[in-house]
A and B are shown apart, each in its own frame.
Chain A
Amino acid sequence: MRSEKFASIQRTTIISMIIIISAAVLGFRLFQMQILNQTSYQDKATDNSIKSIEQIPLRGVFYDRNFKLLVNNVPAYTLRITPADYDKKLNSIIETILEVDSGYISNILDQYKNFSKYLPIKIKRGISFDAVAWIEENSLNLPGVDYVVEMHRGYPGGINGSHVFGYLKEISQKQLSKENEYYNQGDNIGNTGVEKTYEKQLRGTKGNKFVIVNSRRKVIDAFNNGSEDIPAVKGNDLILTIETNAQRVAEEEFKGKKGALVAIDPANGDILALVSAPEFDLNEFSYITSKDYLRSLYNDPGKPLFNRAITSIQSPGSTYKVLSAIAALDMGIITTSTTFFCSGGVTFGRFFKCHGVHGNVNVITAIEKSCNSFFYQLILKIGIDNWAKYSRLLGFDSITGIDIGEENAGLIPDEEYYKKRYGPEWPKSIMLSLSIGQGEVSVTPLQLAQYTVLIANKGKGYQPHLVKGFVDRKNNIIIDFVYTELDLGIDQKIFDIVKEGMFLVVNGKGTATHIRYGEYEISGKTGTSQNPHGADHALFIAFAPSDDPKIAIAVLVENVGFGGTHAAPIAKKVIEAYLNSLKKDTPIKNRSITKLENKNVD
Chain B
Amino acid sequence: MWINELRIDYHLKDKFDFGLIFPVIILFIFGLTAIYSSTFSNAIAQGNFQKQLIWGIVAVIVFFITYSIPTNTFKQITIPSYFITIFLLIVVLLIGQRISGAKSWLAIGSFGFQPSEFAKLATILMLSKYLSRQNANIDSFKDLSFTLAIGFFPVILILFEPDMGTAFVFIAMILTLIFWKGISVFAMFVVLSPGFVAVSSLFGSYYFFGALLFVIAMLFVFRKDFFFSGSIFAFNLASGFFADYVFKALSTHQQKRIQAFIDPMSDPLGSGYNTIQAKVAIGSGGLFGKGFLEGNQTQLQFIPEQWTDFIYCVIGEEFGFVGAIITIGLFTFLFLRILKIASGSKDEFLSLLSIGILSVYFAHFIINIGMVVGIMPVIGLPLPFISYGGSSLVVNMIMLGILANIYRTRKNYA
Contacts and interface: CB of A to CB of B under 8 A. Distances in A.
Interface of A: 1-8, 11-12, 14-16, 19-20, 22-23, 25-27, 29-31, 33-35, 37-38, 40-42, 44-46, 49-52, 114-118, 173, 176-177, 180, 185, 210, 215, 217, 228
B294 to A, nearest CB: 12
Interface in B293-349: 296-297, 299-302, 316, 320-321, 324-325, 328-329, 331-332, 335-336, 339, 342-343, 348
A30 B325 contact: yes
Contacts of B299: 118
Contact of B285 (A5, A34, A173): A34
Contacts of A25: 375
Nearest to A50: B273
Nearest to B276: A50
When A and B form their complex, which 3 residue pairs have the shortest distance between CB atoms, in order from nearest?
Answer: A41-B283, A5-B182, A45-B284
A108 B300 CA distance: 22
A426 B138 CA distance: 85
A116 B43 contact: yes
B351 interface: yes
Interface stretch (B111-119, B365-373, B386-394, B401-409): B365-373
B279 A33 contact: yes
Contacts of A117: 41
A45 B281 contact: yes
B168 to A, nearest CB: 15
B222 interface: no
A30 B373 contact: yes
Nearest to A3: B182
Contacts of A3: 137-138, 181-182
Contact of B369 (A20, A26, A50, A176): A26
Nearest to A20: B332
B339 A12 contact: yes
A44 B296 CA distance: 11
A27 B328 contact: yes
A41 B279 contact: yes
20 contacts: A1-B134, A1-B136, A3-B182, A4-B182, A5-B183, A15-B179, A15-B339, A16-B339, A19-B332, A19-B362, A23-B331, A30-B321, A30-B325, A30-B328, A34-B321, A45-B283, A45-B284, A46-B296, A180-B44, A228-B269
Contact of A114 (B43, B176, B282, B375): B43
A7 B137 CA distance: 14
A109 B181 CA distance: 63
Interface residues of B, number: 61
B4 interface: no
A46 B281 CA distance: 10
A217 B301 CA distance: 11
Contacts of B180: 6-7, 11, 15
A509 to B, nearest CB: 66
B406 to A, nearest CB: 13
B286 interface: yes
Given A15-B339, A37-B283, 7 more contacts: A6-B180, A16-B336, A25-B375, A33-B373, A45-B281, A51-B302, A52-B273
A114 B134 CA distance: 62
Contacts of A210: 269
A35 B277 contact: no
Interface string B234-270: 0000000000000000000000000000000000010
A42 B285 CA distance: 8
Interface string B41-56: 1111010000000000
A22 B176 CA distance: 15
B150 to A, nearest CB: 18
Contacts of A27: 325, 328
B332 A115 contact: no
Nearest to B302: A49
B181 to A, nearest CB: 6
B78 to A, nearest CB: 19
A329 to B, nearest CB: 52
B344 to A, nearest CB: 9
A308 to B, nearest CB: 37
A6 B348 contact: yes
Best-buried of A3, A4, A52, A177 by chain B (most CB within 10 Å) = A3
Contacts of B412: none
B1 to A, nearest CB: 40
Interface in B344-389: 348, 351, 355, 358, 362, 366, 369-370, 373-375
Nearest to A176: B44
A42 B370 contact: no
Best-buried of A45, A177, A180, A215 by chain B (most CB within 10 Å) = A45
Nearest to A185: B43
B297 A6 contact: no
A27 B331 CA distance: 12
Contacts of B351: 6-7
Given A40-B283, A44-B284, A23 B181 contact: no
B348 A2 contact: yes
Contacts of B42: 116
Contact of B286 (A1, A38, A177, A228): A38
Nearest to B285: A34
Given A25-B375, A49-B277, A8 B370 contact: no
Nearest to A173: B43
B142 to A, nearest CB: 13
Contacts of A38: 283-287
Given A12-B339, A16-B339, A34-B316, A177 B44 contact: yes
A191 B137 CA distance: 68
A33 B282 contact: yes
A56 to B, nearest CB: 18
Contacts of B336: 16, 19-20
B305 to A, nearest CB: 11
B135 interface: yes
B102 to A, nearest CB: 15
B46 to A, nearest CB: 7
B286 A19 contact: no
B90 interface: no
Contacts of B355: 7, 15
B296 A215 contact: yes
B227 to A, nearest CB: 26
Contacts of A20: 332, 336
A217 B300 contact: yes
Contacts of A1: 134-137
Contact of A115 (B43, B284, B339, B374): B43
A177 B51 CA distance: 15
A33 B283 CA distance: 5
A50 B269 CA distance: 9
B171 interface: no
A114 B46 contact: yes
Contacts of B370: 26
A44 B276 CA distance: 10
B202 interface: no
B296 A19 contact: no
A127 to B, nearest CB: 25
B321 A35 contact: yes
A27 B397 CA distance: 26
B280 interface: yes
Interface string B97-129: 000000000000000000000000000000000
Nearest to A112: B43
Best-buried of A22, A173, A185 by chain B (most CB within 10 Å) = A22
Contacts of A4: 182
A511 to B, nearest CB: 58
Contacts of A46: 284, 296
A20 B281 CA distance: 25
Given A42-B283, A115-B43, A30 B324 contact: yes
A12 B281 CA distance: 36
A118 B182 contact: no
Contacts of A115: 43
Nearest to A215: B296
A301 to B, nearest CB: 38
